[in-house]
Amino acid sequence: MGYVMDSSWCKYNVIVSIYRNDGTVAIAHGGIEVGQGINTKVAQVAAKELGISVDMISVKPTNSLTNPNSAPTGGSTTSDANCWAIAEACKELMSRLNPIKQKLGKGANWIQLVSQAYNDNVDLCARKYFNGNVDVKHHFYVIAGIVSEVEVDVLTGERQVTRVDICEDAGRSISPKIDLCQIEGALVMGLGMYLTEIVKRDPNSGKLLTNGSWEYKPPTALDIPIDFRITLYDNPNNTAGVMRSKAVGEPPLCLSVSVLNALRHAISSARKDAGIEKWFQFDSPATVEQVQQLCHSSIAQFRFA
């Protein structure tokens, strides 16, 4: 898979504040945390740039006062763009703190440094604006490969994804554990799109028939591949990415088609056993009913051995 990424549309405001009493840091960024881990990533970046523990950093809710005119959260670029802006704001703060650090000497800790900076009238708050057209030429390809294995019950159409292997170029990942989880989630979301989540309406009235979990089937825990292996290819040469990273949110969703193709191969094998080898139309989502019908199992097969 080659998935092109472009952040030219991204515009985000961030603000970083250091508190003089205990040295803790508060961050407000222009993205929205929706489970993709943006809050964790920006906190990790701030901790690295400031040289403090991530436990001293809190991420505050986004609002239109501290983060006005921010672009929508999406496109798999929001996390990286805000991480860049946070890093730049922290670098600005450190440039203000470094003269104080030199005056105090190597023995001074972070809280002493911040307290002295406050007493010397140093501004302990900094903001940064990310402009995707200017700050980072965020245009590159996310490259990934996948191999999928499925088992199909040709009598019932039930199937099981027995193994999936993914290798994805994540650049120099900002937070590898978050990126791994994003790949897992995207793959499973794609399984729903390609295998189970069909929308049905009454042909006469247009009434939605799949209006509950009894009829509409999103993927659940038992739909996750039994053997799920993901490898992040460490590629530090991605100079076009933020901190040399690559986005991982949406691209892995495309990899889910591998499972659909594996399912088609399994159905083709069943059809060959049934004496049918001609091409067949195979639409997604490939529901249990569709798979069972395409296998062309004989009634004679519905018996105990």
Question: Catalytic residue among 92, 151, 184, 250, which?
Answer: 250
> Cα separation of 93 and 25, whole Å?
11
Q: Report the SS3 class of residue 135.
A: coil
> Cα separation of 106 and 126, whole Å?
24
* Closest to 141 measured CA to CA, from 76, 229, 87: 76
For residue 251, say if its preceding peptide bond is cis, omega within 30 degrees of 0: no
Burial of 95 (0-12, 13-18, 19+ CB in 10 A): exposed
H or E stretch covering 210: none
Annotated catalytic residue 149: no
Exposure of 215 in the CB half-sphere (CA atoms within 13 A): 8
> Cα separation of 70 and 11, whole Å?
6
- Parallel, antiparallel or unpaired: strands 159-169 and 139-152: antiparallel
CB atoms under 10 Å from CB of 188, counted, come to 22
Instruction: Tell me which amino acid residue 47 is.
Output: A
> Cα separation of 263 and 119, whole Å?
68
* Closest to 42 measured CA to CA, from 98, 82, 88: 82
H or E stretch covering 89: helix 78-104
Residues 259 and 150: beta-carbon distance below 8 Å = yes
Q: Which sequence positions are flagged as catalytic?
A: 250
